[in-house]
A and B are shown apart, each in its own frame.
Chain A
Amino acid sequence: MAQQWTPDQPIVSIKDVHKAFGDLEVLKGVSFDVMKGEVICIIGPSGSGKSTLIRCINALNDIQSGSITVEGQEVHVPDLDKLALRKKVGMVFQQYNLFPHKTALQNVMMAPLVVLKQPKDEVEARARALLKKVRLEGKEDSYPGELSGGQQQRVAIARSLAMNPDVMLFDEVTAALDPETVKEVLVTIKELAAEGMTCILVTHEMGFAREVADHVYFTDRGVIVEHGPPSSFFTEATDPRTREFLSQIL
């Protein structure tokens, strides 16, 4: 039996995680802790295992060895209570993945209604409030196909928030957006972070990472090469791979 989790312990704890797709080893022993309310940015070149890593946190991918715990609960066990885990961990995807046959409001309402079986009036009121919070008032009845990329991504954020998660995972959420709409999504995430939401982001937005992150991790070829608070990470990187990556991107 896992001991009771208290908020002074890491909310997400990753220890020596190994993950392989067939013969291809994607994660080769990754460890880090995330405290409640922290904003973590994971950066690194394509194929370095960043997305795989955060998909392991809510068990969308399984792992070969190591351990991931969320609020003290081990994620990669056979008898995992997936419902309990996914209520705690929300996720936003690069391609939004909104339900195209439902309006923005219905997209946000769906999980609380279907999964949590909460009363409709209550859910709708909360969904409207969430859409207002992501500045999509007036778009409640629009279908995803009628919204811009940035608007869709903000609906996706509201949809995840509707489950009242304790941790939010963002998997390159601005990578499919054009430069003007990137900002509106980042502002939304920044507001969430300011409210104390624990956020783990895989991102290429270095400016955003520098401004909002509490801690930045640089991964390459399945390992964490370097990490630190953004104040030192971006200026005093020591590893040659980090320096090369930063010089290309900044």
Chain B
Amino acid sequence: MARARPIPGVDAPAATDLPVLKPVRFDPPGDAAGLSFSRFVAGLPWWSLPALMAAIVLWPVAAHAQSVYTMGDATAALLRWMPYLLTDGFLFNILISVFTMLAGTAAGALLGLMQVSPASMIRKPAWLVTQALRNSPWLVLLFIVMLAFPFEISIGSLTIPVPDWMKAVFGLSMPIAGNISEVVRGAIQSVPSGQWEASESLAFTRRQTMWRIILPQCFRRMIPPWMNWYAILTMATPLVSILGVEEIVTLSRQAMAAENSRPELLVPFYGFCLIVFFIYCYPIARWTMALERRMAVKL
């Protein structure tokens, strides 16, 4: 039986002329860049690693069961190349990621601080640069740096060669700088305005407030998103193989070519790359999420 008068919110759309507080999704402070990557990696089940290994081992069997090239041959080839891929290849990926993170963090911290400057002459250009860097395709930035930069720098009679990997570090550090800039800005702006007012009323200058009061408080909040970006960056380092820098993917391709480019090798070799990256990034992702949880409780 239909009601004589519908009840708003029950059998009729809710309506009121009073102000309504709508539910909001609260993004935790300092999470300007989001932790979706670390959240995904940290959420992978434990068996994803053995599953990946099984795929590598079983692929040659499944794909070319009739072929004379056996699973054993493919695995033997991989084992032969493995030390070389790790020491000459992956170590280089880590090296590139570490240098890139250092350079990107330094530049990003500077940009982030400029973004909260009270002077619009500083703030606006910093905002523009930040947005340009974080919204450009990484590969395009890499190409620009690789092609626009000289392969050697001459100062008088002194000629300093600029190796490819150094240019790669510079190219990759640009998007990192843009994203770290946003992390820094977000963390600074998440500190309650009362901290600024209290410092101001105690005669602190803006600079003293920033270094003594605000930054020490947001440093902790910046760590999880910073680590998240480090993991993303590490995953992105094979990009530089396109530009000929010798890292794990470049060396894998060369190794497969040396093994007569048999198609059975594709999954074992690239699968091995995936496993190596996973083993390196998974603990970082877990650690990031653990830190994030601990700080969420603390705040």
Binary interface profile of A, 72-89, with partner B (CB < 8 Å = 1, else 0)? 000000000011001101
> Would you list which residues of chain A between 93 and 125 have a CB under 8 Å from chain B?
93, 95, 97-101, 110-111, 114-115
A97–B191 CA distance with the chains assembled, in angstroms: 11
B197 x A114 contact (CB < 8 A) = no
B204 x A111 contact (CB < 8 A): yes
Interface residues of B (CB under 8 A from A): 192, 194-195, 197-198, 200-205, 208, 212-213, 216-217
Q: B195: nearest residue on chain A (CB-CB)?
A: A97
* B203 A111 Cβ-Cβ under 8 A: yes
Secondary structure at the A interface, as helix, strand, loop or mixed, is mixed
User: Chain B: which residue is nearest A84 at the CB level?
Assistant: B203
- Having A86-B201, A99-B195, A160-B202, one finds 18 other A-B pairs with CB under 8 Å, namely A58-B201, A60-B197, A82-B203, A83-B203, A86-B202, A91-B198, A93-B194, A95-B192, A95-B194, A97-B195, A110-B202, A111-B202, A111-B204, A114-B208, A114-B212, A115-B205, A115-B208, A159-B202
A90 within 8 A of B: yes
A162 to chain B, nearest CB (A): 8
Output the residue of B192, B197, B201, B208 with the most chain A CB within 10 A: B201
A115 in contact with B198 (CB, 8 Å)? no
**Cβ contacts under 8 Å, B208 to chain A:** 114-115
A115 contact from B192, B194, B202, B217, Cβ within 8 A: B202
Instruction: Answer yes or no: A53 CB below 8 A from chain B CBs.
Output: no
Q: Which residues of A contact B201 (CB under 8 A)?
A: 58, 60, 86, 89-91, 160
Q: How many cross-chain pairs have Cβ atoms below 8 Å apart between A and B?
A: 53
Residue contacts A-B, CB under 8 angstroms, 25 given: A83-B205, A86-B201, A86-B202, A86-B203, A87-B203, A90-B201, A93-B194, A93-B198, A95-B192, A97-B195, A97-B197, A98-B198, A99-B195, A99-B217, A100-B217, A101-B217, A110-B202, A111-B202, A114-B204, A114-B208, A115-B202, A115-B203, A159-B202, A163-B202, A163-B203
Q: How many residues of A contact B (CB 8 A)?
A: 24
User: Which of B194, B197, B202, B213 has the largest number of chain A CB atoms within 10 A?
Assistant: B202
| Bound Cα distance A107, B111 (Å) | 30
Write out the residue numbers on chain B whose beta carbons fall within 8 Å of the beta carbon of A97.
192, 194-195, 197-198
Residues in A whose Cβ lies below 8 Å from that of B217: 99-101
Chain B residue with Cβ nearest A88: B203
Please measure, in the bound complex, the distance between the C-alpha atom of A91 and the C-alpha atom of B202, giving whole angstroms.
8
Question: A100 to B198, alpha carbons, bound, how many Å?
Answer: 12
Chain A residues contacting B203 (CB-CB under 8 Å) are: 82-83, 86-87, 111, 115, 163
Within the assembled complex, what's the spacing in Å between the Cα atoms of A82 and B202?
Answer: 10
Contacts of A86 in B (CB 8 A): 200-203
In angstroms, Cα B217 to Cα A98, docked, is 12
Min CB distance B43 to A, Å, is 30
User: How far apart are B215's CB and chain A's nearest CB, in angstroms?
Assistant: 10
A31→B194 CA distance, assembly (Å): 27
Q: When the two chains form their complex, are residues B204 and A115 in contact, meaning their CB atoms are under 8 A apart?
A: yes
CB distance from A188 to the nearest CB of B (A): 18
Nearest chain B CB to A165 CB, angstrom units: 10
- Report A154-193 CB contacts with B as 1/0, cut-off 8 Å: 0010011001000000000000000000000000000000
Closest beta carbon of chain B to A249's beta carbon, Å: 25
Q: Return A67 CB to nearest CB of chain B, in Å.
A: 21
CA distance A159 to B204 in the complex (A): 13
Instruction: Give the CA-CA distance A68 to B238 in the complex, in Å.
Output: 64
From B197, B204, B205, give the contact of A93 (CB < 8 A).
B197
Residues of chain A within 8 A of B194, CB atoms compared: 93, 95, 97
**For the complex, what is the distance from the CA of A58 to the CA of B205, rounded to whole Å?**
14
- Chain B residues contacting A111 (CB-CB under 8 Å) are 202-204
User: In the complex, which residues of chain A have a beta carbon less than 8 angstroms from the beta carbon of B192?
Assistant: 95, 97
